Amino acid sequence: MSSDLLRLATIGSVDDGKSTLVGRLLVDTRQLFDDQLDAVVNASERRGIGDLDLAFVTDGLRAEREQGITIDVAYRYAATPTRKFIVADCPGHVQYTRNMATGASTADLALAVVDVQHGLREQTHRHLCIAALLGVRHLVVAINKMDAVHWSPTAYRSVADEVETLAGDLEFATVLAVPTSALLGDNVVEASDNLPWYHGPTILRALEEAPAGSWTAARGARLPIQWVLRQPGGGRTYAGMVAGDALRVGDAVTLLPAGVRTTITTLTTLHAGAAQSAAPGLSIDVALGDETDAGRGDLLAVEPLPRVTRSLEATVCWFADRPLGSGSRLRLKHTTRTTPARVAAVAGVIDVDSLAVEAADELRANDIGLLTLETADDLVVDDYRDNRVTGSFILVDEASNATVAAGMVGHPAFVRPQN
Amino acid sequence: MDPLTVTTARPHAPETDHLDLLESHAAFVIREVAAECERPVLLFSGGKDSAVLLHIAVKAFAPQRLPFPVLHVDTGQNFPEVLAFRDRTVAMLGARLVVASVPEAIARGRVPDPGPLGSRNRLQTTALLDAIAEHGFDAAFGGARRDEDKARAKERVLSFRDAFGQWDPRRQRPELWNLYQGRVNAGEHLRAFPLSDWTELDVWRYIAREGVALPSIYFAHEREVVRRDGMWLAVNEFVAPLDHERPQWRTVRYRTVGDATCTGAVESAAVTVDEVVREVATATISERGATRADDRFSETAMEDRKREGYF
């Protein structure tokens, strides 16, 4: 991952001020064009909300503005002299958890917003749990609406303690709790005169200085094959995006699931043509040292090799209204391979407050559960903890084609085993 | 060392910069959709975003030919430079061009004739959806970016359209990681936006880096214009000055390219790509705000059009 880019997702409960914070961040760092700011001012005035409803910067749908809530993720782009940001402003309502997961699945950092008057709500717990599951390693928490508690250090400390304990349980690598008033702008971009007892960074400063790249270095390069390119003269190259670790010319690779050993003889990147190596995130095509019948859905891997299996122990966030139980049939998409899948067993559901696994026969909407899945075809998988690309999958409804679950191979370390 | 490596690699550039990752992601999306959908098509207006999209699509399948046709939704009120660019580009690539024509849709009675002063903006939606149905396209690539508009900021990279071509922003499919899934039932289709995460500045920096060809109207030139709705509108066969308007010659360029009756020019002295990059980096008005009358109908003009099946 390029270190000059930080992808962040806002998380937290409805009405704690996520969209207002993002609006404040964008307005105070002058990311909005004049006409966009004018449009937000006009929309605020038309609804009698005063001069400027900062949430309207990201709440761009008519229904969102009418109801004063965020329904789906808004992506905004910002740049300061030190860093570029892709901000995914996520909804807080429980019924839009699927949209929050969409925003957080590609994030390096979670920017959690907590109303200091309420502390951590169930939805905050759920979002932090999902962010941790998705492998977001860094957490910045705005302890928000400090103006409503007269800038009280005791109120801040109490919520900050609660957040820090939970973040520790969820094994975030870093956590920073910043007292803010997104509404008034305190400690978002500008340091606050109302909070003389706080000596830490503002939200902006924290984001600029946060470690980039969410991911512990994955072991072993992977190239899921997307497309076979026929070369003039009869040869073939295999196109895909590098995952895990850099891939190099001369690397000994194994074509999976077939198990054929070969080598990378040439490597071509989109941006620079023939190259000696390519980093994760780059689209490339490679030629192999031996004749193979590799095609879409196969995977080239450098040791340590992923495993080939038709049975997965997995952690699943379930988004559909109908329950998911043992015997349910779905389609599963993993890397570039799609295969029929069946739930063999439900091991339990994670209680987002206690992080304990509770016995359950089925997953209901927005549950996070532990499952065993069986697939019709071989999959080539790593644990999600080792590789975000080869460890992730989605489940798709066979009739409607809707994406109904986010799945991760393996179980998170932070859940407490069933009693 | 292989001599090819020496000449084509860029040893002084950082191994992966922002543009490399954006380009790689766009190519990844294009290949996924091409692999998963039966009949994709690439929407090509001749504008800068679709020119970049086409450039990446060609690279993604080289040395093979582009495995899908390109579709131009033609309002019949185009800048001639853009039509010439369209035809030149398609001929050079050997790509198959499908034209969805608004004048034909009017002639066939599919849409009412708005008259010489009426907007053909929304009529494009009917022409586009008719072409998608007629050719059985199940996916249409577009060059739309999330930074263009607040409704586009909400849209998925792969955006589902029901059998009526409608976008329902309340019921978008979750889109996790890079796992793009393009399954649709008969009559439904997808819009795919590989440039979702690009900004206007990224597009121009990429054009500069890759030498992507563009229609000449993107660069400063002398043109007869009138001031209308706060924009400079070109005087031509589609736009006649109104009584109170005073035609004048100005040095202008276009930041976006669309229908000639609703796309405004901006005053600019930027003649080269590098000068445009510098201009865009310091712009204070958004590209659609500066140049598109079609977004000014109401607060949610883009959302309303998108719901009906617009680009």
For chain B, the distance separating the N- and C-terminal CA atoms, rounded to the nearest angstrom, is 47
Q: What is the pLDDT confidence band of residue A168, given thresholds at 50, 70 and 90?
A: very high
Chain A interface includes B186 (CB < 8 A): no
What's the Cα-to-Cα distance from A212 to each of A8, A137, A367, B309, rounded to whole Å?
10, 10, 30, 38
More confident residue, B63 or B299: B63
More confident residue, A377 or B1: A377
**Which of B5, B24, B65 is best to mutate for the A interface (most A CBs within 10 A)?**
B24
| Per-residue pLDDT at A3 | 58
State the Cα angle at B85 between B263 and B138, rounded to 5°.
Answer: 80
Q: Does the beta-carbon distance from B299 to A396 stay under 8 Å? A: no
pLDDT, average across residues A221-225: 97
| Per-residue pLDDT at A397 | 96
| Per-residue pLDDT at A412 | 85
CA neighbours closer than 13 Å in the CB half-sphere of residue A405: 37
Which among A98, A101, A403 is the nearest to B181, CB-wise? A403
Strand B70-74 relative to strand B139-141, pairing: unpaired
Residue B226 reports pLDDT greater than 60? yes
Taking the CB of residue A295, how many other CB atoms lie within 10 A of it?
12
pLDDT, average across residues A297-326: 96
**Cα A265 to Cα A249: distance, rounded to the nearest angstrom:** 6
Give the domain A222-301 fold.
Elongation Factor Tu (Ef-tu); domain 3 (2.40.30)
**Cα A101 to Cα A94: distance, rounded to the nearest angstrom:** 11
Look at A22-26, A28-32, A44-48, A400-404 and tell me which has the smallest mean pLDDT: A44-48
Residue B281 reports pLDDT greater than 90? no
Look at A19-23, B154-158, B208-212 and tell me which has the smallest mean pLDDT: A19-23
**Which of B30, B64, B176 is best to mutate for the A interface (most A CBs within 10 A)?**
B176
Q: What is the pLDDT confidence band of residue A278, given thresholds at 50, 70 and 90?
A: very high
| Per-residue pLDDT at B8 | 34
* Most confidently modeled range among A24-38, B158-172, B183-197, B241-255: B183-197
Which residue, among A218, A390, A226, has the nearest Cα to A309 in the 3D structure? A390
**Cα B204 to Cα B281: distance, rounded to the nearest angstrom:** 10
Same fold, A5-209 and A222-301: no
| Per-residue pLDDT at B294 | 66
Tell me the ipTM for this assembly.
0.92
Residue A46 reports pLDDT greater than 80? no
| Domain locations in chain A as residue ranges | 5-209, 222-301, 307-409
- pLDDT tens track for B1-29: 333 333 333 333 344 688 999 999 999 99
| Per-residue pLDDT at B171 | 86
* Most confidently modeled range among A93-107, B24-38, B231-245, B276-290: B24-38
Residue B107 reports pLDDT greater than 50? yes
Residue B80 reports pLDDT greater than 60? yes
| Per-residue pLDDT at A299 | 98
What's the Cα-to-Cα distance from A337 to each of A296, B15, B114, rounded to whole Å?
7, 29, 48
Q: Spell out the SS3 assignment of A166-215.
A: HHHHCCCCEEEEEECECCCCECCCECCCCCCCCCCCCHHHHHHHCCCCCC
Sign for the CA dihedral angle at B148, B150, B152, B154 comes to positive
Chain A interface includes B183 (CB < 8 A): yes
Taking the CB of residue B113, how many other CB atoms lie within 10 A of it?
13
More confident residue, B75 or B272: B272
Q: Does the beta-carbon distance from A36 to B59 stay under 8 Å? A: no
State the Cα angle at B15 between A263 and A262, rounded to 5°.
Answer: 5
- pLDDT tens track for B92-104: 998 999 999 888 8
Grouping H, G, I as helix, E, B as strand and the rest as coil, residue A397 is coil
Residues from chain B that touch A84, judged by Cβ atoms under 8 A, are 18
The architecture that CATH gives domain A5-209 is 3-Layer(aba) Sandwich (3.40)
CA neighbours closer than 13 Å in the CB half-sphere of residue A287: 13
Q: Which residue of B has its CA nearest to A74?
A: B154
| Per-residue pLDDT at B11 | 36
- Tokens linked to A283: 């689209």
Looking at the DSSP assignment, which residues form a beta bridge with residue B131? none
Preceding amide of A91 cis, omega within 30: no
Chain A interface includes B295 (CB < 8 A): no
Helices and strands (DSSP H and E) totals, chain A: 7, 25
Q: Does the beta-carbon distance from A232 to B151 stay under 8 Å? A: no
| Per-residue pLDDT at B12 | 37
More confident residue, A45 or A375: A375
**Cα B296 to Cα B305: distance, rounded to the nearest angstrom:** 12
**Cα B253 to Cα B272: distance, rounded to the nearest angstrom:** 11
Look at A1-10, A191-200, A305-314, B79-88 and tell me which has the smallest mean pLDDT: A1-10
Q: How far is A241 from chain B (nearest CA, A)?
A: 7
Mean pLDDT computed over every residue of chain A: 91
Q: Does the beta-carbon distance from B153 to A75 stay under 8 Å? A: yes
Mean pLDDT computed over every residue of chain B: 87
Residue A239 reports pLDDT greater than 70? yes
- pLDDT tens track for B299-311: 777 888 878 777 7
Sign for the CA dihedral angle at A240, A246, A249, A255 comes to negative
**Which of B18, B33, B150, B155 is best to mutate for the A interface (most A CBs within 10 A)?**
B150
Q: Does the beta-carbon distance from A271 to B23 stay under 8 Å? A: yes
| Per-residue pLDDT at B4 | 32
B234, B301 in Cβ contact below 8 A? no
Domains of chain B: 18-201+302-308 (3.40.50.620), 215-296 (no CATH)
Q: What is the pLDDT confidence band of residue B283, given thresholds at 50, 70 and 90?
A: confident
Q: Which CATH superfamily is domain A307-409 in?
A: Translation factors (2.40.30.10)
| Per-residue pLDDT at A216 | 56
